[in-house]
Structure 1
């Protein structure tokens, strides 16, 4: 389902929703640079099936509404261009609006992938609305590693990911010793079954760890 949300600055945007509206807990799902596409909707349905209320805000609506990209080279270039036009501050306004739409839920988690993985880290640090954050291969986390999270954080990285070298992962570990940092024998985007880098074993393990992490903290 789709719903229209309004951010604190008056910006209106769409969001994909799934799961029971009266669920005890909720999860905000944050997109890659490819928009709220079929992969992100699949992720939402997965957590909805676990009993959560789920909302995925369309973060590119600030630039162009209705963006849904695939995973070709052309899609990657387009996604990077769109991402460059959305500031962290504006994205966080939309993320908080999505969280605010789940006022019935007692606790909220946030999970994101790629660009959304970095935004998940920022949401954990710059918002007090979340009780748990699971960041999947967020390349921008290393640069932001000295921020202070307000909730437990879990991170998932692929050791073959050229965009996030082992030195970055180690720097994150050093800066955030309390974070649960998991590394897999996999490449960037290993959790998306529509990408050539998809790794079923790593994806299932990371997903299982995320489910258990939310179960423990929400």
Structure 2
């Protein structure tokens, strides 16, 4: 999925295990209005999964895709950088972890990673651009312990929201309107501060 209006900046939106679903489409449309050209690659190479297929979607991601796919996104960043002044990544869940891994790319100008719980497996990453991490209080790991480690890394800022994994997804059972608004506010602030929009 892409929305191109010849803006100066590009935003790559990376999906969750479900693929480019209605939530990701909505996110893309939201940021088209913020003067970004939007790219949302389908990492699944198939139609998206439903939320009821969470287990199947997770198994597919782990067994068929994996976090090494960040290398493909890095290549894509390099291609986009030839056309745009700045290239940003906004990722959700597994997409957030992929975005985090791409933060070492010199052609990436900023990363926003929303509830990327597997970031904890890649704490050796040393970003070369500004990174905003949005964590939730209720997740499957010790959030505070990971934040403590990440807070020592240059160019990384974080927010911890009083919500559950998936809280920004309006179609998720964990959607939290108040916290989602707060999350979007942090994202917009980050993009304004780091882009030439």
2:165 counterpart residue number: 188
SS at match of 1:120: helix
2:192 counterpart residue number: 215
CA distance in 1 between counterparts of 2:179 and 2:141 reads 18
Is 1:113 aligned to residue 97 of structure 2?
no
2:8 counterpart residue number: 24
1:150 counterpart residue number: 128
CA distance in 2 between counterparts of 1:71 and 1:164 reads 25
Matches within 5 A, 1:72-151: 72=52, 75-84=53-62, 85-94=64-73, 96-97=75-76, 100-101=79-80, 103-125=82-104, 127-151=105-129
Shift of 1:208: 1.1
Is 1:56 aligned to residue 40 of structure 2?
yes
2:47 is aligned, of 62, 67, 82, to 67
SS at match of 1:197: coil
Shift of 1:206: 1.1
CA distance in 2 between counterparts of 1:164 and 1:37 reads 29
State TM-score, norm by structure 1: 0.82
CA distance in 1 between counterparts of 2:107 and 2:187 reads 18
Shift of 1:165: 3.3
CA distance in 1 between counterparts of 2:14 and 2:142 reads 19
Please list the CA deviations of residues 151-176 of structure 1 after superposition, one character each: whole Å capped at 9, or x if unmatched. 000000110123453322333224x2
- Structure 1: tracts of 5 or more residues without a match: 1-15
Please list the CA deviations of residues 185-218 of structure 1 after superposition, one character each: whole Å capped at 9, or x if unmatched. 1010111011111111111111111111111111
- Structure 2: tracts of 5 or more residues without a match: none
SS at match of 1:185: strand
Over the aligned positions, Cα root-mean-square deviation in angstroms equals: 1.8
Aligned length: 194
